Structure 1
């Protein structure tokens, strides 16, 4: 599986081929605005600001799959992220990330890593290397600035 073979849409509805990020490491995160884990947005933005000059992209993928915790429109989500967390990292349009109806990228990841590595809740994180290959998977409760995530990002950017 190579992430560059897939496309999403931006929060504004424009095409977002993942090959746009070729040569960069991408931390792919399914997000939600009304979740107990929503404060992770702050640490995700800090990671993005710290490492973006070295080639890291944090890519948020809003999803209403878990607990109905992202019920708003793309415009609502964009406004929430800007006002509450001053998010500058890119956001995709709202997508399904789990189960048979999941976006093809998430189905491919689950196929490659196994169903156990599929998102079970909001804020699951996948690290994609500069070559588009999956490098790591981190569960929802692993905070963005956890040592294992920082070490994986450092290795992917080396």
Structure 2
């Protein structure tokens, strides 16, 4: 009787483990990818994230009048260094923090080029938090959409790492520089 009870309990645990694994796998399958998004760049042209399939992507919310603004220089440097190896940076100007990005798209484009030589793709100015949060940032910040984690955009120059399959990998806050070892090592993997 004892052996029968142990066998039934063991089978039950195996069954529960199988169900749990299936639920985890179905959640991973349900997660959306970055490739579903089309946005406008600073020049009003459509930018389709599906064109980045197979590339690693660093997405960053930017601002021209922020203490972290000099990170543009490091973003440009890693973009130039690793773009031939399937890596890109995508910038999203946002005015969500202390009005540190008050300019128009044209002013932002001019500022970035003139002061930092930015050549990586810069998108249309958007909102990265609040009721008017852009759909792409809803994806980046909500586990129910990205399948990995919830996060809040705490400040300008927060970084989101996206793998070659379009899935969120990690989030780094503003104080982590674009050329930090953890980011560069991820790019080089």
Please tell me the TM-score bracket, short chain as reference. Answer: over 0.9
What's the counterpart of residue 133 of structure 1? 167
Correspondent of 1:109 among 140, 144, 150: 140
Report the CA distance between 1:141 and its aligned residue. 0.8
Correspondent of 2:38 among 1, 4, 7: 7
RMSD over aligned Cα atoms:
0.9
2:173 matched to 1:142? no
Note the alpha carbon deviations across 1:42-92, whole angstroms, 9 max, x for none: 000000000000011100100001111000000000000000001110100
Between the aligned partners of 1:41 and 1:85, the Cα distance in structure 2 is: 6
Report the structure number with the largest CA radius of gyration.
2
SS at match of 1:118: coil
Report the CA distance between 1:128 and its aligned residue. 0.7
SS at match of 2:108: helix
- The higher-RCO structure (CA 8 Å, 6+ apart) is 1
SS at match of 1:126: strand
What's the counterpart of residue 122 of structure 2? 91
Q: Structure 1 segments of 4 or more deviating over 2 A?
A: none
SS at match of 2:142: helix
Between the aligned partners of 2:111 and 2:140, the Cα distance in structure 1 is: 28
2:152 matched to 1:152? no
TM-score by length of structure 2 reads 0.79
User: Is the 1:100–1:107 contact (alpha carbons within 8 Å) kept by the matching residues of 2?
Assistant: no
User: Is the 1:136–1:152 contact (alpha carbons within 8 Å) kept by the matching residues of 2?
Assistant: no
Higher helix share: 2
Between the aligned partners of 2:152 and 2:136, the Cα distance in structure 1 is: 11
Correspondent of 1:119 among 153, 162, 167: 153
Between the aligned partners of 1:123 and 1:18, the Cα distance in structure 2 is: 20
Report the CA distance between 1:25 and its aligned residue. 0.9
TM-score by length of structure 1 reads 0.94
